A and B are shown apart, each in its own frame.
Chain A
Amino acid sequence: MNGSTHDEMRETEPKRVKVYILENNEWKDTGTGFCVGRISSNDQESSKRSDKCSNLAAYLMVNDEEAPDRVLLWSRLEGNIEYQRQEETLIVWKDLTGQDIALSFEESTGCDALCEFIIQVQKSMETYISLVAVRSNDDGMGSVHEIITGPVNLPSNEHQQDEKTLMEALKILNENTAFEYLRNETMEFVLKSDYINTLIAVFEAAEHNHLHRDLLLLSNIIKTLTLYNQRELLEQMVDDEHVLGVVGILEYDTEFPTSKANHREYLQHSGPNFKEVIPLQSEEMKSIIKKTYRLQFLKDVVLVRFLDDHSFNLISDVILDLQTCIIDFVQTDAFLSRLMEIYTGQNKDHEQEKKRDGIRMLHQCVQITKNLEPVEKSKFFKALVRKGLFNVFDFAFNVEKDSSIRILATDMVITIIEHDILLINTVNNELRHQNEVLDEEQQHASQQKTDIVRSSMSSDVSLLLILSKILLTDKSLGLKEQIVQALNTLLHPEGCMGGDSNYDGGNMDIIMNFYGDGKGGDNKISGEISNDNLSFQMAEYFGNFYKEVAPILFEPLLGDSICESNDDILLIYLVKLISFIATEHNRRISREFILEKGILTKMAKLMDPSHIMQLRLTVLRCLKNIICLNDEYYHRYMMSKNLYDPMFHLLRENLNKDNLANSSMLDFFRIISSQCSQTEEMSAHEKNNFMIMNRFLVKKYGYLLQQVDYVPYTKEMIRLSEEHKEAVAAADEDVKMGLADGTQSHIKDGKRTFSEAQESSESTSSGTYSSSSGGASSSGGEESLTFKRAMDKISAVSPPTSIAEDVLRESQNSDNADT
């Protein structure tokens, strides 16, 4: 249509459009045609101007579609015209004569093309025009304006500035945060022209001349810049060149105009120092480490009262990225190997302090992984274990006596096992497995043997053992707290089974790696080893716990224990752990341990008034939890030993006091009455544990219960007992007698009594699982034999879905058959 007749003349593709002008407040359609953006010589001013460049002018031009020679619109882009793009297809503006014009495009792509033209013109020729996008709000009320292009006010970049220019700069920077376009332009300026350095230069002069208002303005300028949420700028602020200047400026604060912080002094002298256990060879890494630290300082100290959530999160994200870099570096570089060498036998001359620093550093590494992705964590932790983390633990737990270092080591253990409980063991096994495989390949050993070797290794309880011994011996209370947390995690069956793992593929990932690494010999093992194997490992793991660790860990609670511990704080931890294993572990295994070792009897003695109330109440809670299991064996045992007596002794002490002990007993009565009421509704009295217990308690302690007249539960207990008595009087005569005179002869209605087993184990002083359950306690011995046999059988065949359960079912059956 309009070919380029001149070098300078450029034109966009024609786009179909309707042209409107505003007349008397009404938009008037002036016709439909094709719109182009054209740059051509200025028809009016070309004669006056001499320089070629200003000869050019930009126009929006529309030719009538019916009569292409007829020009519907010829409008110059000039002055400070603001073009509005409204919705998708409209461009609306008021020209310099005051005429309102609108172009309605047939297609949004047409509108796009002309908008792009306006942007180009703004950038290269008419810098004062602007283009603004206007969209109606989501709710249909009002509209959103967003600057697409336009003139940008920028602060002065002069090194000589005064209050006025700084005030102007602050104003501009504040205004420019309002629109993304202005923000981007401003940031580009700040970064490209090293504006921060300008500010620092101005700051140094102002500080030298004690220009207090200038200093406050500068501080506000820096703060405003942080609100731009620009990552590159943040990193620039904390690099070696700028950091002191930036925190120096931030020492002044309008909110506290009369005081000054001392960030520079802190960073340079009084604050923490960057230390290197092993010299870092990479300067870049050093710089990243320092930047990370300084950003944290900025976030947590310098700007702590200032940052909004958005900026806070941005800084946190930058820190996270840098930390990811650091963790990457630590595990890929030879750095970690060099660090671990400190702890290996070959380097005995390394002084103690260096080893301590190494632990402090590793602890920091493990700490900063807390925010990383689970996959990254696994990778890093595995690298640590492979490179010899156990040597570090060995030093911390066996050589080091300083509790603060042990605390750090334990904290690492906790972080790692809470992330993935199997990680330490499986990686260790993987290492040993690799060695084994090499041997076996030479020996052409059978697949079966591999399985047995592997399973016995994967149920390694040495970590549990170390932790247990520290819990019993170390004097640091903080460390004890930590150890208990670690034990809780390590002993959590769901965690071990990957059941409540808080991310996908954690445990399995490792297991699969373990078999699928292709590092030798693995190809003969199919990839089908999966959850079954895991269940199997866990059954054995817990088996080993009860055999090797529990007797040591719970030594002070054993019925035949010779050591009378009076460390009530330690006993509290142990009682809590008993409560935990009784409620969370496989019932049969934990119950067997608890009852045969006489732990409940011993625990009940800890309710004696000679112990601190915290311990007495912890025991009460533990017994309540066990009662709530509604387990016939436990219920029978507790009645036969009358373990309720110390509970009611506690009640008698606190009968008319409104305190925690009293409330804890009321809670107990509430549980009993509600359990019994439920049973009553289901009319299944006869065999119910709670009904039987209730009758036992009312008979024995009714006189006390009657005095507890301030809650309804005790009355309910007494009522239920009366009714129950009538209901089962005839059928249950022998049981009643048995309970009343405290003998167990009548309770043996076809089921083994644990009290018997317990008594017999009291006669054997040896502490281990197998020997105490052998001897006089024939059924116990049978059981554990059956258990072992079942295990052996299972290790020889491919395991079914849930081995642990099957094993139990099997031995349960044989148990019943035996008696």
Chain B
Amino acid sequence: MKLDDTIDSLRQGKHIPEETVYSLCLKSQELLMNEANVTHVDTPVTICGDIHGQLHDLLTLFDKSGGIEKNRYIFLGDFVDRGFYSLESFLLLLCYKLRYPDRITMIRGNHETRQITKVYGFYDEIVRKYGNSNVWRYCCEVFDYLSLGAIINDRIFCVHGGLSPDVTTINQIRSIDRKQEVPHEGAMCDLLWSDPDDVDTWSLSPRGAGFLFGRNEVEQFLHKNKFELIARAHQLVMEGYKEMFDGGLVTVWSAPNYCYRCGNVAAVLRVEDDLDRNYMIFEAVQAQDGVGNAIIPTKKPQMDYFL
């Protein structure tokens, strides 16, 4: 009951008390702990890419794709940073997870770390909204418990970034103690940071973390694990999604008009029982007053100032 109230408040972008956030985070930890590093998910399911704090576009996403009440979702990470509603977006997904545990799978993105959120907006957002960084700490603790990937019907591998030279089988991912800040190298880092590219073999990534991988790596991985598709996010696609390597890999991007200025559309991928892929495209919400998506984001200082 109380959870439903919180969900309502979050959908309206209202302030959530620190204690509520804390208890949400603690409960989420308990739930997430029981999940595997790579979770198994059944069809039909809707795969969603980066959200980046665009709460109102996230609400559109749910509206247009049927809603959490009747559908299953996998989120490929990057819930926070960049947008003005990182906290609300992340908490809303956590609340849905608590409310409908089997309907939503949350995978960790490269932005779900202490180091990155300190630079790209989530930390500042929390300090602005609460006057201190405690809520940020609670959320970061939850980040550490998020899964690293998911597998749909034993056929589709979902991950935020991409492949790793250290990972050829799923059991190798299983042997990671994932409850930690994302390291700067190694399998866990690569899964969250790598990008597909037109390269012959593993190559250095311009991002400074993870690798670039090409058709060969994708085909080997798919063959070895008897998969048919790698679904990932992590890179802005102006058209919302982009298939590569003869449909062996897809990038799904779910933050329309990214950073409120990129002008891109967003997409989610619905996978049916027969593994048919349907892409749903959607555009950014027009900002309006009165529905929580005000012109002025909640980027206001909350307290009196002396300086």
- The interface of chain A, by Cβ under 8 A from chain B, is 253, 255-256, 259, 261, 263, 266, 271-277, 289, 292-293, 296-297, 300-302, 304-305, 323, 326, 357, 360-361, 364-365, 368, 407-408, 411, 477-478, 481-482, 612-614, 617, 621, 624, 657-664, 666-667, 669-670, 710-711, 713
When distances are taken between beta carbons in the complex, the residues of chain A under 8 Å from B30 are 612-614
Residue of B nearest to A360 (CB): B306
How far apart sit A323 and B306, CA to CA, in the bound complex (Å)? Answer: 12
Least CB distance from A566 to B in Å reads 16
User: Of the candidates B29, B174, B301, which one forms a contact with A296 in the assembled complex, judged by CB atoms under 8 Å apart?
Assistant: B301
When distances are taken between beta carbons in the complex, the residues of chain A under 8 Å from B171 are 710-711
Residue of A nearest to B137 (CB): A481
How far apart sit A660 and B132, CA to CA, in the bound complex (Å)? Answer: 30
Q: Are B307 and A482 in contact, CB atoms less than 8 angstroms apart?
A: no
How far apart sit A530 and B289, CA to CA, in the bound complex (Å)? Answer: 62
User: Of the candidates A277, A289, A301, A664, which one forms a contact with B299 in the assembled complex, judged by CB atoms under 8 Å apart?
Assistant: A301
When distances are taken between beta carbons in the complex, the residues of chain A under 8 Å from B306 are 274-277, 357, 360-361, 364
Segment 267-307 of B: residues with Cβ below 8 Å from A: 286-289, 294-297, 299-307
Contact A659/B134 with A326-B307, A478-B18 known, Cβ cut-off 8 Å: no
Contact A659/B35 with A364-B307, A477-B22 known, Cβ cut-off 8 Å: yes
Q: Are A275 and B305 in contact, CB atoms less than 8 angstroms apart?
A: yes
Q: Mark interface residues in B154-194 (1 if CB within 8 Å of A CB, else 0).
A: 00000000000000000100111111000000000000000
Q: Are A661 and B296 in contact, CB atoms less than 8 angstroms apart?
A: no
Residue of B nearest to A272 (CB): B304
Q: Indicate whether B100 reaches chain A with its CB closer than 8 angstroms.
A: no
Q: Indicate whether B37 reaches chain A with its CB closer than 8 angstroms.
A: yes
Between-chain CB contacts (< 8 Å), 19 pairs: A256-B287, A271-B301, A297-B301, A302-B296, A305-B261, A305-B295, A360-B304, A360-B306, A407-B132, A407-B134, A657-B34, A660-B179, A661-B33, A662-B174, A663-B175, A664-B179, A666-B174, A710-B171, A710-B174
Q: Are A660 and B305 in contact, CB atoms less than 8 angstroms apart?
A: no
Contact A478/B134 with A301-B300, A304-B299 known, Cβ cut-off 8 Å: yes
Least CB distance from A725 to B in Å reads 25
How far apart sit A729 and B302, CA to CA, in the bound complex (Å)? Answer: 71
Interface-central residue, A271, A624, A713, by most chain B CB under 10 Å: A271
Q: Are B145 and A272 in contact, CB atoms less than 8 angstroms apart?
A: no
Q: Are B303 and A361 in contact, CB atoms less than 8 angstroms apart?
A: no
Segment 32-49 of B: residues with Cβ below 8 Å from A: 32-37
When distances are taken between beta carbons in the complex, the residues of chain A under 8 Å from B295 are 253, 256, 259, 261, 305
Q: Are B36 and A663 in contact, CB atoms less than 8 angstroms apart?
A: yes
Q: Indicate whether B260 reaches chain A with its CB closer than 8 angstroms.
A: yes
When distances are taken between beta carbons in the complex, the residues of chain A under 8 Å from B33 are 613-614, 617, 659-661
When distances are taken between beta carbons in the complex, the residues of chain A under 8 Å from B300 are 266, 271, 297, 300-301
Least CB distance from A625 to B in Å reads 11
Additional A-B contact list (9), CB under 8 Å, known A261-B295, A275-B306, A659-B36: A300-B128, A478-B135, A617-B33, A621-B179, A663-B174, A663-B177, A664-B179, A667-B175, A670-B175
Least CB distance from B181 to A in Å reads 13
Contact A293/B296 with A255-B287, A660-B178, A670-B175 known, Cβ cut-off 8 Å: no
How far apart sit A713 and B175, CA to CA, in the bound complex (Å)? Answer: 9
How far apart sit A670 and B289, CA to CA, in the bound complex (Å)? Answer: 55
Least CB distance from B304 to A in Å reads 5
When distances are taken between beta carbons in the complex, the residues of chain B under 8 Å from A624 are 177
Least CB distance from B201 to A in Å reads 25
Interface residues contributed by chain B, number (CB under 8 Å): 45
Q: Mark interface residues in B132-143 (1 if CB within 8 Å of A CB, else 0).
A: 111101100000
Mostly, the B contact residues are loop
Residue of A nearest to B300 (CB): A301
How far apart sit A664 and B33, CA to CA, in the bound complex (Å)? Answer: 11
When distances are taken between beta carbons in the complex, the residues of chain B under 8 Å from A621 are 177, 179
Residue of A nearest to B29 (CB): A614
How far apart sit A791 and B292, CA to CA, in the bound complex (Å)? Answer: 65
When distances are taken between beta carbons in the complex, the residues of chain B under 8 Å from A360 are 303-304, 306
Least CB distance from B52 to A in Å reads 15
Q: Are B175 and A666 in contact, CB atoms less than 8 angstroms apart?
A: yes
When distances are taken between beta carbons in the complex, the residues of chain B under 8 Å from A272 are 301-305
When distances are taken between beta carbons in the complex, the residues of chain A under 8 Å from B289 are 259
When distances are taken between beta carbons in the complex, the residues of chain B under 8 Å from A292 are 307
Q: Are B35 and A660 in contact, CB atoms less than 8 angstroms apart?
A: yes
Q: Are B137 and A361 in contact, CB atoms less than 8 angstroms apart?
A: no
How far apart sit A261 and B288, CA to CA, in the bound complex (Å)? Answer: 10
When distances are taken between beta carbons in the complex, the residues of chain A under 8 Å from B301 are 271-272, 293, 296-297, 300
Residue of B nearest to A270 (CB): B300
Q: Are A364 and B34 in contact, CB atoms less than 8 angstroms apart?
A: no
Least CB distance from A808 to B in Å reads 31
The 7 closest A-B pairs by CB, nearest first: A478-B134, A361-B306, A658-B36, A667-B177, A666-B175, A664-B177, A660-B33
How far apart sit A669 and B35, CA to CA, in the bound complex (Å)? Answer: 20
When distances are taken between beta carbons in the complex, the residues of chain A under 8 Å from B176 are 663, 667
Residue of B nearest to A482 (CB): B134
Least CB distance from B256 to A in Å reads 15
When distances are taken between beta carbons in the complex, the residues of chain A under 8 Å from B133 are 411
Q: Are A663 and B18 in contact, CB atoms less than 8 angstroms apart?
A: no
How far apart sit A769 and B211, CA to CA, in the bound complex (Å)? Answer: 50
How far apart sit A297 and B303, CA to CA, in the bound complex (Å)? Answer: 13
When distances are taken between beta carbons in the complex, the residues of chain A under 8 Å from B35 are 659-660
When distances are taken between beta carbons in the complex, the residues of chain B under 8 Å from A259 are 288-289, 295
Q: Are B305 and A293 in contact, CB atoms less than 8 angstroms apart?
A: yes
When distances are taken between beta carbons in the complex, the residues of chain B under 8 Å from A658 are 36-37, 174
Residue of A nearest to B288 (CB): A259
Least CB distance from A479 to B in Å reads 8
Q: Mark interface residues in B9-44 (1 if CB within 8 Å of A CB, else 0).
A: 000000000100010000001101111110000000
Least CB distance from B67 to A in Å reads 27
Contact A478/B132 with A710-B171, A713-B175 known, Cβ cut-off 8 Å: yes
How far apart sit A266 and B302, CA to CA, in the bound complex (Å)? Answer: 12
Residue of A nearest to B301 (CB): A272
Interface-central residue, B33, B288, B297, by most chain A CB under 10 Å: B33
How far apart sit A297 and B36, CA to CA, in the bound complex (Å)? Answer: 44
How far apart sit A357 and B305, CA to CA, in the bound complex (Å)? Answer: 10
Q: Are A411 and B132 in contact, CB atoms less than 8 angstroms apart?
A: yes
Contact A361/B307 with A271-B300, A300-B300, A663-B174 known, Cβ cut-off 8 Å: yes
How far apart sit A337 and B117, CA to CA, in the bound complex (Å)? Answer: 37
How far apart sit A691 and B138, CA to CA, in the bound complex (Å)? Answer: 39
When distances are taken between beta carbons in the complex, the residues of chain A under 8 Å from B304 are 272-275, 360
How far apart sit A277 and B304, CA to CA, in the bound complex (Å)? Answer: 12
When distances are taken between beta carbons in the complex, the residues of chain A under 8 Å from B132 are 407-408, 411, 478
Residue of A nearest to B306 (CB): A361
When distances are taken between beta carbons in the complex, the residues of chain B under 8 Å from A481 are 134, 137-138
Q: Are A289 and B260 in contact, CB atoms less than 8 angstroms apart?
A: no
Least CB distance from B108 to A in Å reads 13
Least CB distance from B163 to A in Å reads 19
Interface-central residue, B32, B128, B177, B288, by most chain A CB under 10 Å: B177
How far apart sit A710 and B36, CA to CA, in the bound complex (Å)? Answer: 14
Q: Are A368 and B307 in contact, CB atoms less than 8 angstroms apart?
A: yes
Residue of A nearest to B38 (CB): A658
User: Of the candidates B179, B297, B307, which one forms a contact with A304 in the assembled complex, judged by CB atoms under 8 Å apart?
Assistant: B297
Least CB distance from B305 to A in Å reads 5
When distances are taken between beta carbons in the complex, the residues of chain A under 8 Å from B307 are 289, 292-293, 323, 326, 361, 364-365, 368
When distances are taken between beta carbons in the complex, the residues of chain A under 8 Å from B37 are 658, 660, 663
When distances are taken between beta carbons in the complex, the residues of chain B under 8 Å from A326 are 307
Q: Are B34 and A659 in contact, CB atoms less than 8 angstroms apart?
A: yes
Q: Are B305 and A274 in contact, CB atoms less than 8 angstroms apart?
A: yes
Least CB distance from A468 to B in Å reads 19
Residue of A nearest to B36 (CB): A658
Least CB distance from B291 to A in Å reads 11
How far apart sit A293 and B132, CA to CA, in the bound complex (Å)? Answer: 18
Least CB distance from B260 to A in Å reads 5
